[in-house]
Structure 1
Amino acid sequence: MALERKLKVLNKPYVKSFKDKHGIVFDCVDMYKQPAFDHPLLKNHKLQESTWTGPSTAGQRIRVHPQESCPDGTVPIRRTLKQDLVMASLSSPRFRPANNKDHSEIPGQHFAQLLVDSVAGSKFQGASALLEVDTVAVPVGQVSSAQILLVDDSFHSSVVNVVQAGWSDSQTRFTTYWTADDYRSTGCLNVQCPGFVVVSQTSTPGMVLPGGITAISISKVPAECNN
C-alpha cells in the first residue's frame, strides 16, 4: 500500500532509538540520511550551521530533550507511524495567514499576530523570535500554538511560499510546517516529507519543549522548492 511505502521512505535506518515520557519514539539517524535529503534540491548538500546570536534570555537554542542525545554524526528523527500519515491527510494546516485579520481562512481558527514587511526592494532571508512556552489545557478537538512564519508572496499573487516553526498542542511540541504553493499541494508537518534539515543531536520537530522562553529561528523557503 502507498502508506506502507511512504513509511519505509520516511523511517530511515537508525543506530539508536528512545522514547519521550509520552511514549513517542525518536530514532538516531545518520545526519546525511535523514528524510530532508530525499528532496532533489538537497541532494549532495553540505550542512552549514550558523552561530546563534540571540538574546541571552533565550538560553539554549531549541534544546528540548537534554536527557537524551544521539551519537556524533546522527540526529533524532521522530518515527512516523501510519496513523500520523492518516491524520495528516485529513487535517488542514494548523496556521494560515489571512490578510491582517484576527481569524484564519480555516473556520474556527483565531490568532493574534505581529506583521513585519520587508523594505521595498529587499527581502528577508531569515527571522527569529522568542516564544513563551506554556502547557495549555485545551478541549478535545482544539489546538493552541505559538509560531513564527516567514512568508514570500513576491513571485505570484496566488502562490505564497511559507516556512513556519513554533509549538502546538497541549504538550507544547516543537512544530514545523512549509509550503511552496499556498498550502495547496506542497509541504507537510514536521518531517513527514523532505524539507526541514535537523542538525542537533538533542532536538528535533515533534519533541516537547520545556516551559519558559524558547528561541526560534527560520530561513527563507526557496521558491523552486515545491516537490
Structure 2
Amino acid sequence: MGEMAMSRGLRLKEKNIFWGMFFIILIHGIVDGKLINREKLIEINKKLKQINRPAVKSIQSEDGDIIDCVDIYKQPAFDHPALKNHTIQVSLSLPPPVAILLSQGTAYLGAQGDINVWNPYVASDDEYSAAEISLKNGPYDDFESIESGWAVNPKVYGDRRTRLFAYWTTDASKKTGCFDLTCPGFVQTSKSIALGSVFDTVSKIQGAQYQISISIQMDTNTGNWWLKYGGQNIGYWPKSLFVGLSHMASSVEWGGEVKSSHIGQTHPHTGTDMGSGRMVGVGFGFDCFIRNIRILDNSVTWKFPTYSFPYTDEYYCYDIYYQRYGVTEPEFYFGGPGYDEIRCP
C-alpha cells in the first residue's frame, strides 16, 4: 500500500459553507470567471423554486459547479412523508451490544472498502457506470438497497465527470430510486462534503492510482444508516424509509455496475466501460480494484467477510478476479469495455 497515491478529495472549499446549513449541487457545467452572472442566478432560482428551497447563499466551486447553501431543516429529505416529524441526528452514536435472532443468513450492520477511482467512457446520456458498496435486504426482484461510491452519470449530473454519489431504493429500482438529494430521503449533515462533487484526480493506466474510502454503518440506537467518506460523516438514510433495512442488511456487495438498455438480448451490446475499461488480467495500475473490504455483523466488530464469492452476469463483456491467496489483504479487480466484435458483440 506504500506505493499507492491517495485521492486528494473533492473540489470543495469548506470555508464557503456555513454551519447549520447543507448544500445542493446544481450542475451547469463550467462557468467562466469567479462571479455568478445574472443568467446563471435566474437558472438557479428556477431550480430552487421547483424544489421550494430558498438559497441563503450561492457559491461556485473550482470545478464549475454551483453550490447553494440551504437551511439544514429545509433540505429535500423532509418532504418525505416518513420524515414529517424527524429530528436530525447530529452524528453516529456508539453502538451498544445487540442480540439478533435470525432463522438463516447473517445480519449485516455495516460495510466498508477502498474503491479505486477511474473515469470510464459512457456511451450515451441515458447510461451510467459506477463502482460502489451496497447493502441490501429483500428478495432478488424486489429488494431494498442503499449504495455509495463513484459514478459517471450524464443523466443525473449533466456531464461525464467522475462524482461521489449515494443512492437508495425500496423496490429494486422499479418505481423508486434516488441519487444524492434529488428526492426526499437522505439526510445530509456534513457542511464540507457534497454528494455529487467531482473528484479532482482519477487513476490512469500505468499511472498514479487513486482511491476513496466509503463506509456505511447502521446506528443501532436509532436504526439510521450512516454514510462516511474518508472517515467523515456525510449524512444518513433514516430507518423510517425502509422495512427490511430498518433492522439489518441481508447481503453486501462491492463492485462495478453499468446501467444500459443495450445489455443482454439487445445487440449491439453497450460500449460503456466498467472500471478502467479493461478486461481484468494485469492487476494494479491497469484494473479497477476494491481493497480493505470489511463487514460489520451482530458481533459489532469490523471484520473481513467469511463467506464471499465473485459474480458477474455479463462475463464476456465485464470480468472479475478475486485475489484471496498470496496477498496479505484479500482484494478483487473488475471491469471491462462492454461492446467488442468478438467477446461481447
TM over 0.5: yes
Find the aligned partners of 1:157 and 1:139 in 2 and give their Cα distance: 27
Which stretches in structure 1 are left out of the alignment for 5+ residues?
A: 53-117
Specify whether residues 193 and 128 from structure 1 end up closer, same or farther in structure 2 by C-alpha distance, changes over 3 A only. Answer: same
Deviation at residue 39 of structure 1 after TM alignment: 1.1
Deviation at 1:217, TM superposition (A): 2.2
In 2 relative to 1, CA 191–139 (structure 1 residues): closer, same or farther, beyond 3 Å? Answer: closer
Q: Which residue of 2 aligns with 1:216?
A: 214
Letter in 1 for 2:134: L
Q: Indicate yes or no: 2:83 matched with 1:42.
A: yes
What residue in structure 2 maps to residue 59 of structure 1? none
Q: Is 1:30 aligned to 2:71, yes or no?
A: yes
Verify the 8 A CA contact 1:165 1:175 in the aligned structure 2.
yes
Structure 1 residues 26 and 145: alpha-carbon distance in aligned structure 2, compared to 1, 3 A threshold: same
1:164 aligns with 2:122: no
| CA–CA distance in structure 1, aligned partners of residues 103 and 198 of structure 2 | 36
Shift of 1:209: 2.8
Is the CA contact 2:117–2:212 (under 8 Å) kept in the aligned structure 1?
yes
Question: Contact 2:48 / 2:55 at 8 angstroms: preserved in 1?
Answer: no
1:145 offset after TM fit, Å? 2.1
- In the superposition, the TM-score normalised over structure 1's length comes to 0.57
Aligned residue runs from structure 1 range 192-207, under 5 A: 192-207=182-197
Please tell me the residue identity of whatever aligns with 2:151. S
1:195 CA displacement: 1.6
Q: State the Cα distance separating 1:10 from its structure 2 match.
A: 2.5
Letter in 1 for 2:54: P
* Maintained 8 Å contact 1:133/1:210: no
Q: CA deviation at 1:9?
A: 4.8
- Mapped to 2, the partners of 1:11 and 1:20 lie a distance apart of 23
Give me the TM-score of the superposition, normalised by structure 2: 0.39
**Overall identity of the aligned pairs, in %:** 38
Are the counterparts in 1 of residues 142 and 172 from structure 2 also a CA contact under 8 Å?
yes
> Structure 2: how far apart are the matches of 1:22 and 1:30?
24
Are residues 51 and 6 of structure 1, via their aligned partners in 2, closer, same or farther at CA, if it must alter by over 3 Å? same
Deviation for aligned residue 1:133: 2.1
Residues 139 and 158 of structure 1: CA distance in aligned 2, closer, same or farther (over 3 Å): closer
1:130 aligns with 2:114: yes
| CA separation of 1:23 and 1:210: change in aligned 2, threshold 3 A | closer
* CA displacement at 1:151 relative to structure 2: 0.9
Amino acid at match of 2:49: K
Cα contact 2:144–2:244 (8 A) shared by 1: no
Q: Which moved more, 1:180-189 or 1:120-129?
A: 120-129
- CA distance in 1 between counterparts of 2:54 and 2:86 reads 20
Partners of 1:127 and 1:9 lie apart in 2 by 35
Residue of structure 2 equivalent to 1:152: 137
Q: Deviations over 1:7-66 (max 9, x none)?
A: 6352511211122344321111111111011112222322321279xxxxxxxxxxxxxx
1:183 aligns with 2:167: no
Shift of 1:121: 5.3
Aligned length: 154
Q: CA deviation at 1:185?
A: 0.7
Give the aligned CA root-mean-square deviation in angstroms. 3.2
Unaligned runs of 5+ in 2: 1-45, 95-101, 153-159, 202-209, 217-224, 226-238, 246-345
Tell which has more relative contact order, 1 or 2 (C-alpha 8 A, sep 6+).
1
Residues 178 and 137 (structure 1), Cα distance of their counterparts in 2 relative to 1, 3 Å cut: closer
Equivalent pair of 2:48/2:54 in contact (CA under 8 Å): no
Residues 165-219 of structure 1 show CA distances to partners (whole Å, capped at 9, x for unaligned) of 1111252211122110111111222211112111111112111134433221232
